[in-house]
C-alpha cells in the first residue's frame, strides 16, 4: 500500500507539470518514452518557452503578386529576439503522433518533397540532430537517384535538380528546417526530397514543384503562398494538376482570406489549429487558429468534391493541423537567425502542411488517376477530429471564418485522426 501511495503521489506531481488547459500555451509534458522509444519534451524547458506567446513571421509579407512568402511564425521573447533553448521546447514526434493517432511508419518508401526557397546549407546535419534528440531513425544522404533507393534517404537539389544551390536566407532556412523535421516526425521511414528554389518568385517555386514531380515525389508539401491572381488557373494550376500525387499547401497566416497555391483546386489546403493535450499527453481538443487562412477563392472554380453552399467557387481550407506558435513545434536549426540558433519553437500553417503531408505519406492510397481532393472528401468522418470552436475573422456566411460542426473554412474537414 505504501508503494502504491508513493506511485500515486509521483504521478500527481508529474501530472502537474503536464500540458493542461489552464496553461495558455498548452505545452508542458512529462518526459517519458512513447512506443518506439521516442523522447518527449522536457517540462522545465517547455515551461520556460510557455512564458512567451508573441511570434514573428519568418518571411516578411509582400505586396508583390509575383513573390510568395513562407508561413512560419517563430516564438520570440519580449525583446522580439527569437526564443531558443538547448533542448526542444515545442511539440515533437511523440506529441504529434499521439495527438493525431498515427504510428509514424509508412508501408514501402514514399518520397515526400518539400518545396522552399533559398538554401539551408546545414539541413542534413540539423535533421540528424533532430533525429538523435528524439531517437528517430537517421536519414542518410541518398547515394544516387532518390527514387531508386532501397532505403529511406534524404536528398537536396536546386529547382533544376542540380547541386548548385541558391544563396542562403536565414528566415527561409529556418522554414526549411521546420518543414523537413515536421515530415520526419510524422513519417520517419519516408524519403525526403528538398527542392530549393532560387528565389520565392512564382516562376521559381513552380519550377521546383515540377522538379519534385520529375524526381519521383509521391507527396509534396508547400509551406508558402501569395495573393491570388486572375491568371492562376491558366498560368499556375497546371503545375499542381498531378493525379496520383498528394500535394499540400499552407492556407496562410493572416487570418481570414485566401492565398495561392492553397486556393488551387488541385491541392489540399491545410488550415491551422491550436492543439491542446491532456495531462497524459493524449489529444484533448483543437480550436481554429486565429491567424489561419480560409475563405472563398476569387478565381478557382468549385471542385466537384466540395459541396458547401456559401461559396460558389473553391473554398479554403480542406483539412487542418496544429499551427498556433504557442502550441508549436520544436525545430532545430544551426543557421543563425536574428542572432540565434539551436532549438526554436515555431508554428504557422507552415507547420500544419508538412504535418498532414507526412501523415498522408504513411498511408497514401491515391490511385494513379485520382486527385487528392476526391480522396479526402471521400473519407468517413471518423478519419478526422471535428473542430467546432474558434475563428479567424469576420465573414458571411460565418462558416467560412468560424469553426462549426462538420465542414468549415478555417479547419476544413478537421484534423487527422489516424493515417489516411
Average pLDDT over residues 377-399: 97
The grid cell for 230 is 486572375
The helix (run of H) or strand (run of E) holding residue 74 is strand 73-75
Q: Say how far apart CA 213 and CA 245 lie, in whole Å.
A: 9
pLDDT tens digit string along 196-205?
A: 999 999 999 9
Q: Which residues pair with 34 in a beta bridge?
A: 38
pLDDT tens digit string along 244-253?
A: 999 999 999 9
Q: Say how far apart CA 71 and CA 62 lie, in whole Å.
A: 12
Residue 23 predicted with pLDDT over 90: no
Confidence label for 109 from pLDDT (cuts 50, 70 and 90): confident
Give the rounded percent of residues in the chain with a pLDDT score beyond 70. Answer: 91
Confidence label for 128 from pLDDT (cuts 50, 70 and 90): very high
Q: Say how far apart CA 418 and CA 9 lie, in whole Å.
A: 33
Q: Say how far apart CA 123 and CA 131 lie, in whole Å.
A: 12
- What pLDDT shows up at residue 82? 97
Q: Say how far apart CA 55 and CA 286 lie, in whole Å.
A: 20
Q: What does the DSSP assignment read for 85-115?
A: ESS--SB-HHHHHHHTT--S--SS--EEEEE
Quick check: helix, strand or coil at residue 196?
A: strand
Average pLDDT over residues 344-369: 94
Contact 242, 278 (CB under 8 A): no
Average pLDDT over residues 2-7: 43
Q: Say how far apart CA 127 and CA 191 lie, in whole Å.
A: 13
Query: Residue holding cell 473542430?
Result: 387
Task: List all residues 6 or more positions away from 121 whose beta carbon is below 8 Å from its beta carbon.
Answer: 165, 168, 173, 335
Confidence label for 45 from pLDDT (cuts 50, 70 and 90): confident
Biggest CA pair distance of the chain: 73
Contact 259, 227 (CB under 8 A): yes
Q: What does the DSSP assignment read for 306-353?
A: ---SS-SEEEE-SEEEE--GGG-EEEEEEEEETTEEEEEEEESHHHHH
Mean of all residue pLDDT scores within the chain: 91
Alpha helices in 152-294 (DSSP H): 170-186, 202-214
Residue 201 DSSP class: B
Q: How many CB atoms lie within 10 A of CB 381?
A: 11
Weakest mean pLDDT among 75-79, 137-141, 237-241? 75-79
- What pLDDT shows up at residue 36? 53
The grid cell for 17 is 507539470
Q: Say how far apart CA 351 and CA 187 lie, in whole Å.
A: 14
Residue 15 predicted with pLDDT over 50: no
Contact 269, 257 (CB under 8 A): no
CA nearest neighbour of 194 among 268, 93, 304, 117: 117
Burial (CB count within 10 angstroms: exposed 0-12, middle 13-18, buried 19+), residue 48: middle
Q: What does the DSSP assignment read for 56-82?
A: EESS-----TTB-EE--EEEB-TTSPB
Amino acid at each position: 500500500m505504501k508503494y502504491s501511495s508513493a506511485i500515486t503521489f509521483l504521478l500527481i506531481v508529474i501530472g502537474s507539470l503536464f500540458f493542461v488547459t489552464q496553461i495558455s500555451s498548452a505545452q508542458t509534458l512529462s518526459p517519458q518514452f512513447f512506443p518506439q522509444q521516442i523522447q518527449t519534451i522536457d517540462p522545465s524547458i517547455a515551461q520556460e518557452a510557455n512564458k512567451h506567446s508573441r511570434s514573428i513571421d519568418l518571411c516578411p509579407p509582400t505586396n508583390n503578386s509575383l513573390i510568395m512568402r513562407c508561413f512560419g511564425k517563430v516564438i520570440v521573447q519580449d525583446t522580439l529576439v527569437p526564443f531558443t533553448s538547448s533542448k526542444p521546447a515545442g511539440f515533437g514526434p511523440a506529441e504529434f503522433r499521439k495527438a493525431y493517432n498515427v504510428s509514424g511508419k509508412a508501408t514501402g518508401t514514399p518520397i515526400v518533397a518539400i518545396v522552399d526557397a533559398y538554401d539551408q546549407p546545414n539541413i542534413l546535419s540539423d535533421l540528424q540532430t533532430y533525429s538523435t534528440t528524439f531517437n528517430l531513425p537517421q536519414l542518410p544522404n541518398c547515394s544516387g537517384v532518390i527514387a531508386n533507393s532501397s532505403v529511406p534517404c534524404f536528398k537536396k537539389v536546386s529547382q533544376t535538380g542540380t547541386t548548385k544551390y541558391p544563396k542562403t536566407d536565414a528566415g527561409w532556412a529556418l522554414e526549411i528546417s521546420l518543414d523537413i523535421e515536421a515530415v520526419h516526425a510524422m513519417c520517419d521511414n519516408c524519403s525526403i526530397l528538398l527542392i530549393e528554389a532560387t528565389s520565392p518568385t512564382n516562376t521559381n517555386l513552380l519550377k521546383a514543384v515540377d522538379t519534385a514531380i520529375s524526381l519521383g515525389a509521391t507527396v509534396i508539401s508547400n509551406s508558402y503562398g501569395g495573393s491570388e491572381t486572375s491568371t492562376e488557373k491558366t498560368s499556375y494550376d497546371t503545375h499542381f494538376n498531378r493525379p496520383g500525387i498528394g500535394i499540400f499547401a499552407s492556407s496562410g497566416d493572416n487570418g481570414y482570406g485566401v492565398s495561392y497555391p492553397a486556393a488551387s483546386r488541385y491541392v489540399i489546403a491545410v488550415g491551422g489549429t491550436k492543439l491542446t493535450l491532456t495531462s497524459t499527453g493524449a489529444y484533448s481538443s483543437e480550436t481554429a487558429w486565429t491567424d489561419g487562412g480560409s475563405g472563398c477563392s476569387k478565381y478557382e472554380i468549385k471542385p466537384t468534391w466540395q459541396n458547401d453552399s456559401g461559396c460558389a467557387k473553391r473554398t479554403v481550407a480542406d483539412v487542418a493541423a496544429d499551427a498556433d506558435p504557442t502550441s508549436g513545434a520544436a525545430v532545430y536549426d544551426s543557421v543563425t537567425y536574428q542572432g540565434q540558433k539551436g532549438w526554436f519553437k515555431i508554428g504557422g500553417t507552415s507547420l500544419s502542411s508538412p504535418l498532414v503531408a507526412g501523415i498522408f505519406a504513411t498511408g497514401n492510397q491515391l490511385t494513379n488517376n485520382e486527385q487528392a481532393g476526391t480522396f479526402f472528401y471521400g473519407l468517413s468522418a471518423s478519419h478526422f477530429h471535428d473542430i467546432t470552436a474558434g475563428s479567424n475573422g469576420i465573414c458571411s456566411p460565418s462558416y467560412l471564418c468560424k469553426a462549426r460542426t462538420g465542414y468549415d473554412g478555417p479547419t476544413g474537414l478537421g484534423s487527422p485522426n489516424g493515417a489516411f
